[in-house]
Chain A
């Protein structure tokens, strides 16, 4: 069965590295980068991006609205 896939885009300069999305993600997609952003925070990034389902959990709990979420539903294949 074709699975629903997702992808996220993190606004890394806006991110404050609070870690809430990392905890909220049910499929452990997100990690905090060891590289700092301009403000000196460790921004979130999709470390395990292929596991994303586009469920939006991360975006819903992000206080700084840094995460944009895309979802792709594969079409039913013609037989």
Chain B
């Protein structure tokens, strides 16, 4: 005879297979509904929890939508000036070489004002992890064009679409820094589908293991939606992401 359990009985008798990690605080995330930042935060913190390195890890938060990451990530965090997170992380790691140090940055932070810091930290093979959220736009300040904005993509500062003849091409920072000998691991992922979330988490784990093994800089790019800036529902934004962002920013390992 087979028993038919109600959902309440399954909750009582069954195995707990997923719950929010304690390494995320209980604070409500400040992100728009459906924004990929929440998943990127969570998988980063799950990796830190699973590696048992919570007390040894210091995160560096950027300027941008994720400026409040230190409120959400339940570990030691430091706030950096706009774009300077890799420089701040360099300092922290050099003072505390035994700690795990990572930056969490959006494309406006890492690929625009912080290009210099990003490239030089990578070139110096700073033994840090860079988590780079690329949504092709300045989200927090109101959807302005970023260096990563796609060709033809409309934003509040490119209302007729990005014209590459005057505004340049979407910059592929992860490919660029992959060329540097200091970078041991450069990879691009996404978090809008369950299978992709699992893969992105594995990549973040590998990046932290590289830091443990003192291999140099690891950069994990996550192509994410900015549904508010793109002016779409979250579901439509993820479809748009697949159809438009991924051909320009293809997923997979670039190095390592």
Complex Cα spacing A46 to B11, Å: 13
Complex Cα spacing A14 to B28, Å: 7
Size of chain A's interface in residues, with CB distance under 8 A? 38
| B16: Cβ under 8 A from any A Cβ | yes
Q: Which residues of B contact A52 (CB under 8 A)?
A: 7
| B35: Cβ under 8 A from any A Cβ | yes
Among B24, B33, B191, chain A packs the most CB atoms within 10 A around the CB of B33
Contact B35 A63 (CB under 8 A): yes
Size of chain B's interface in residues, with CB distance under 8 A? 41
Nearest CB on A from B83, distance (A): 25
Contact B5 A60 (CB under 8 A): no
Please judge, given known A-B contacts A54-B14, A77-B1, whether A61 and B233 are in contact too, CB under 8 Å.
no
Chain A residues engaging chain B, CB cutoff 8 angstroms: 2, 5-7, 9, 14, 16-20, 23-24, 41, 46, 49-50, 52, 54-57, 59-65, 67-74, 77
Chain B residues engaging chain A, CB cutoff 8 angstroms: 1-3, 5, 7-11, 13-21, 24, 28-29, 31-39, 42, 191-194, 197-198, 233-235, 238
